[in-house]
Chain A
Amino acid sequence: MSAAVASQWPQRRRRVFQSVFHTDDSQPTPHSTPCIRFPDQGQPFGGPAAPIRHQHARRAHAHAPLDAADPSPALSPTLTSSLSTIDARSQLAQPLFPSLATAADDQVVFDRAWHVVTARIALPASATADDSFGTLPPDSQLPHQAYTSDVDFYDALALIVQAPALLPRATHTEDVVAWHAQQARSHFAQHVVPLLSGCLDDQGDEPGAENRGRYRGTGRRGDYYERHMVIVMSSIRTLEAALRLYFYGFGMLVRGFHKLAVANGPGKPLVVDPELIATRFRRDIHALVGNSASPELMRSVSIVLVRLTGTILGIPSGDDSNDIGSVRSSQRLAPPTDDDLNAIATRQRLHELVEQLHNVGLAGERFQILFAEIMDSMMSDFVTGAYAGVWSASDTQSFSAATAMNTISRTAGASFTSPCILSLGDWVENHFSRLSLEVLSRVSPGAASPVKLSDVKTYQSLALGRLAALRISELFDIVLAWPSSRGALDDLRATITTTARRLQLTASFSHTLQTRLLHPGYSTLKILRTYIAIIRTLHALDHSKVLLGHVESSLQLYLCQREDAVRIVVTGLLASAEELRVARKYNETAKKPMERRSQAGHTGTGNRGGPEPGPFVTPAVGGGYRETPGTRKRRDSTPEAGPGDAEKAARDLSSTKLIELSLILNDPLQSRRASPEDEDLDWNDMTWVPDPVDASANYKRPKSEDVIGTLISALGSEDVFIKEFASVLADRLLTDPANFDQELRVLDLLKRRFGEPALQNCDVMIKDVRDSRKVDTLIRRKRKDRHEGKSPATPGTMDQALSAQGAKEMEYHARILSRLFWPNLDREHFLLPTPIVEEQKRYESGYQGLKSGRKLTWLNQLGQARVELELRDRSVTVDCTTVEATVIYAFQDPDAEDGNSSVRRSVDELYAQLQMDEDMIAAALTFWVAKGILRHVQHDVYAVAETLAAAANADSSSAANAGSSGSAAGQQPGAAMSTAEDKEDGGEPPRKTAGGKPAGASAKEQERRAMYWQYICGMLTNASATMPLGQMAMMMKMLISDGFPWSNEELQEFLGEKIADGELEVVGGKYRLPRK
């Protein structure tokens, strides 16, 4: 009670007094300084103990009488230099004090007390080396009782602190705590900061080091970390010393407060709470240190931290090994084991460091940000370093899982967690979070738990996000490595959980496609093969096919520009059984090394174990992609994997044919999709999941992978595809009559896709071939009957003398094609050998007997023949085309039966005899020369190589050996024309196989040019009388449904010809028809 009243009472009195006498604070006060002991400069001002004590005692008795006019000691203006600012202020203010004696008295008492306190806790002015901090403050603050001045100090402190109560008239009072803080601040700025920068300078960063970055450097990099460690440690020591200094003085203040509190008794409210101001002061100083830490220091701290955390988390920071490349590629990042001494020591070191940093106040906000950044990059580094290129599941179960995957198509969820994700989660939980917890709890010891369980979950999801980003960036390589990369897909499937990530995936993948696949350096076959891999990969990733739909549009667009794409797909679908067998066998052999490889890759010794596996990362710009997709690549790099003919054949095959398609077609898993495609929702489907959110409006959930279906629909218009299919089918039906199961299967597939009507032609074609067989047997049987009736023994009336030589009747079969349904079949004119013509006539009559009113038109060039040639020293049987058979037949010379020289013919003779196109003759001759039957004697003259020696000779010297080998005359090409199939009416399929095509192609080309000319005429007549070249080309491209393959230059050339013919004019760069 008394204290409160006592403190209020004088104030009230004083207020009354002031109201009467109009005194205010601005009045000057007498500057009397009756100080007895005046201290020298720099000497602690410990003198006025007695007066203060007296004053204090007196005041304790009599409560500040107003008229007490003690001469009070004034503050000396010459204290230590560190006090100069305060002194200046005091001096400046002193003349303004109230002139009242009592006020002056109180003020003087206060000032003296102030002096005592400040002198005691004043900071040294030393600007010398940092060791001064270490020695100057007393090592222990406890034996302060030994100092005689301590008592004075505490008394004075009590006065100052309780100034409002005890010295009510001392108008100019100060807060000693604030003063000390101010002291510390200025001291820090003046002395410590230069010392800190000195620490940095001493360690001498060479200027280049900053540019080199953390991970790079030259040979000195080894001690790079050490240097920064020294910087950090010396800075910490400097700061520790300075802080000891500050806290020494402050500790005395706090102790004074405590004493005061004890003296005042428990009932009295304290003026200041020592705990409160202690924390406040600590916070201020820490803020001061933290904010004044130079960027260089923080950089050093970060380097040290990166090193330490990296070691603890199992991420080598790169500066401990001189060649990063070898270390990186040879071993995966892995967290250190629990008994790793290095890690334990490093962890210990980090703990100490963090604690030290925290103690000196460097573990403030900036440190936390720094730490967060480091941990962030650590997570990225770890994910990249540990999982880049690790795609394979840990064991072979992934392969069995691969097949199982197709069956559980809809239940694609996170139920199946991949090893990568498991180990990453473990890493986050046991290493990453642990480290965070350790560091953060040291940084902020007060907080309950700096890393909560929910935080760990957040870290894990962050890490999964990083993993997703990594896999997305690798996706193209993953696709190429299919199917050994299934593990990576599991990662992706588990991590791609949000729409944003799906979007990121599609965007990134589309971009990769553009840069790495869709450029001229890639052959269409490889693009298609990659496309198949993409389909399968993305289907495994996302059964809804929405991702695929987002990705493939650019691919489809690009494939439409590749004219051979359709043909490759069709021929791939129609691959023969033999090719299939080879390919399958090949896959078997290829699988073994692949598995071996995948495991090797996982354990970290495989050559694609590095974060950037060389072969897959080549961007393939400019030079073109070096190899086919991953499986092939691996296969090539393992020569021990059955280097047989089969493999070689398969490799040849796979480099020319899209054999995968037909493998897929024959895959039972694929054909299971026969169930009706567009059924309604299956209400009993317990595995139903809703459509993905990013599906488009017309989205329809596909049932299966359906590689072939996707591929076909990707190739643009169905018309083009069907047309191509028809032409390939026609080709194959005419050449390979044995069976056409494969064709039928493909046809069925296409029917399901395109509908029956679209493929009617193909149906008719197959039916034609089947019917032909029946008709053929029928006609032959009829003829046989007739022959037997007439002249049973001989082969008949025809002059089969030649072929009858072998006492063998010539077989003759025909195939009857319905002209309208086959792709354009061209008629090529040439004269068949007489016996064949006879056969044809008989066949024709037989056919007309069978189906009256129908007429056969023979397509002579489309057949095959088996020719038996009896030469002097050998007999040869050759399967060839009818054209080739006709040509070799012309070399048979009945007159030369007993002659000495071999038969020779010139091209001109053959032309006259056969009326065959010269190109076809030349092609056929080349064929026979290659067979060793003919030899090139002179220019355009060929002779039969009767003996093998002659054939060999023919190779070496063509012109010289004319007649040299001619000895016997037994040249008897027993041309037994068998299986010559000819056709009823028609044009020509665009075959690229046998001879006789150039002429046909040019005929077709002529036809096409005529049609184009019609277009141009129509255009110039109707659309516009004059048109520039570009517009014409554009119109042609747009209007001709089959496409207009010419470039502008070709069109210009064509138009140039027309201009030369006078059918066209060009005026001012525009073409027009001449006026009539």
Chain B
Amino acid sequence: MEDSQNSAPGSLQATKLAGARKGPDGQNAAKRLQTELMQLMTSPAPGVSAFPSADGNLLSWRATIDGPDDTPYSGLTFKLSFEFPSNYPYAPPTVLFITPIYHPNVDFSGRICLDILKDKWTAAYNIQTVLLSLQSLLGEPNNASPLNGEAAELWDKDPSQFKAKVMDRHKDIDED
């Protein structure tokens, strides 16, 4: 009952608000995310994938990035979590590495320093672009503003030791 009450008038309301639907509406966020999911599924980008978490909450996603070749992360797989605000896409999602990663722009709790996830965010970005940006960040860290100073130093000075640290830190996590 409650659902039908909400769904049918909801669509009507949306019609009335046509053009001016910018309000922080969880429904719009969910709708947008559903559309993004459809895009991700119909035209997947290589090396990245994402999906809503198993609890059925559309505002919470899990993503996977394969480490790019020709980088220290080659052959590794990284899991990330996306938490979307209810006014997404007008505010960026909160993205964290779940898999421990040794990277100049990622701290030890998985937080990422990436401008498009902060002040450079626009509604034109989507999950796929974020994932691709993160994938390229793996190969080209921004050493000017590191979260992990040691890594930033090693990246330039000692790639082999960097690689060793990366392999040391990396650990496949399994939900099982």
Contact = CB atoms under 8 A, between A and B. Distances in A.
A834 interface: no
A754 interface: yes
Contacts of B61: 1022
Interface stretch (B30-38, B104-112, B113-121): B30-38
A172 to B, nearest CB: 80
B5 A553 contact: yes
A755 B17 CA distance: 10
23 contacts: A553-B1, A714-B8, A716-B11, A718-B14, A753-B15, A755-B15, A755-B19, A757-B18, A757-B19, A1014-B41, A1017-B49, A1018-B50, A1019-B51, A1022-B62, A1023-B53, A1023-B62, A1025-B176, A1035-B54, A1035-B56, A1039-B37, A1039-B58, A1041-B34, A1041-B35
Interface stretch (A213-221, A607-615, A1026-1034): A1026-1034
B120 to A, nearest CB: 25
A1023 B61 CA distance: 7
Given A1023-B62, A1031-B54, A1040-B38, A713 B8 contact: yes
Interface in B1-60: 1, 3-5, 7-9, 11-12, 14-16, 18-19, 31, 34-35, 37-38, 40-42, 44, 49-54, 56, 58
Contacts of A91: none
Contacts of B95: none
B50 A1022 contact: yes
A1015 B52 CA distance: 10
B99 interface: no
A557 B12 contact: no
A553 B44 CA distance: 39
A713 B15 CA distance: 10
B42 A1011 contact: yes
A753 B11 CA distance: 11
Contacts of B50: 1018, 1022
B34 A1026 contact: no
A1021 interface: yes
B26 to A, nearest CB: 15
Nearest to A1019: B51
Interface footprint category on A: 35 or more
Interface in A1013-1070: 1014-1015, 1017-1019, 1021-1027, 1031, 1034-1035, 1038-1041
Interface of A: 553-554, 556-557, 560, 678, 698, 713-714, 716-718, 753-755, 757-758, 1011, 1014-1015, 1017-1019, 1021-1027, 1031, 1034-1035, 1038-1041
B63 interface: yes
Contacts of B15: 718, 753-755, 758
Contacts of A553: 1, 4-5, 8
Nearest to A678: B16
Nearest to A1014: B41
Nearest to A1034: B56
Contacts of A554: 1, 4
Given A713-B12, A718-B11, A1018-B41, A1023 B51 contact: yes
B174 interface: yes
B135 interface: no
A717 B6 CA distance: 11
A1024 B175 contact: yes
Contacts of A1027: 54
B2 to A, nearest CB: 9
Contacts of A718: 11, 14-15
B39 to A, nearest CB: 11
Please report whether the interface of chain A is mostly helix, strand, loop or mixed according to DSSP.
Answer: helix
Contacts of A1026: 175-176
Q: Which of B64, B79, B176 has the most CB of A within 10 A?
A: B176
Given A758-B18, A1018-B50, A1025 B40 contact: no
Given A717-B7, A1015-B41, 16 more contacts: A554-B4, A556-B8, A678-B16, A713-B12, A1011-B41, A1015-B51, A1018-B51, A1022-B51, A1022-B62, A1023-B53, A1025-B175, A1026-B176, A1035-B54, A1038-B56, A1039-B34, A1041-B34
Given A757-B18, A1011-B41, A1040-B38, A1023 B52 contact: yes
A1041 B12 CA distance: 18
Contacts of B51: 1015, 1018-1019, 1021-1023
Nearest to B41: A1014
Contacts of A716: 7-8, 11
Contacts of A753: 15
Q: Which of A557, A560, A757, A1022 has the most CB of B within 10 A?
A: A1022
Contacts of A1023: 51-54, 62
A717 B34 CA distance: 15
Contacts of A1014: 41-42, 44
B7 A1025 contact: no
Contacts of A713: 8, 11-12
A856 B39 CA distance: 27
Contacts of A1041: 31, 34-35, 38
Contact of A1035 (B19, B42, B52): B52
A1018 B40 contact: yes
A820 to B, nearest CB: 16
A1035 B8 CA distance: 22
Q: Which 6 A-B pairs have the closest CB atoms?
A: A1022-B51, A1022-B62, A1024-B54, A1018-B51, A755-B18, A1014-B41
A1038 B53 CA distance: 12
A758 B17 CA distance: 13
A1021 B174 contact: no
A755 B16 CA distance: 8
A861 B47 CA distance: 39
Nearest to A1070: B176
Contacts of B3: 557
A350 B44 CA distance: 91
Contacts of B4: 553-554, 556-557, 560
Given A716-B7, A716-B11, A753-B15, A1039 B54 contact: no
Contacts of A1038: 56, 58
B166 to A, nearest CB: 20
A713 B52 CA distance: 30
A1022 B49 contact: yes
A753 B15 CA distance: 7
A1027 B175 CA distance: 11
Nearest to A555: B4
A931 B42 CA distance: 43
B83 to A, nearest CB: 14
A1018 to B, nearest CB: 4
A754 B12 CA distance: 8
Contacts of B35: 1041
Contacts of B19: 755, 757
A1014 B42 CA distance: 7
A305 B9 CA distance: 56
Contacts of B174: 1025
Contact of A717 (B11, B53, B58): B11
Nearest to A558: B4
Contacts of A1018: 37, 40-41, 44, 49-51
Nearest to B8: A556
A755 to B, nearest CB: 4
A548 to B, nearest CB: 13
Interface string B138-176: 000000000000000000000000000000000000111
A1021 B54 contact: no
B149 to A, nearest CB: 31
Nearest to A1038: B56
Nearest to A709: B12
Contacts of A1031: 54
B44 to A, nearest CB: 6
A736 B176 CA distance: 59
A393 to B, nearest CB: 34
B93 to A, nearest CB: 14
Nearest to A1076: B77
Contacts of B11: 713, 716-718
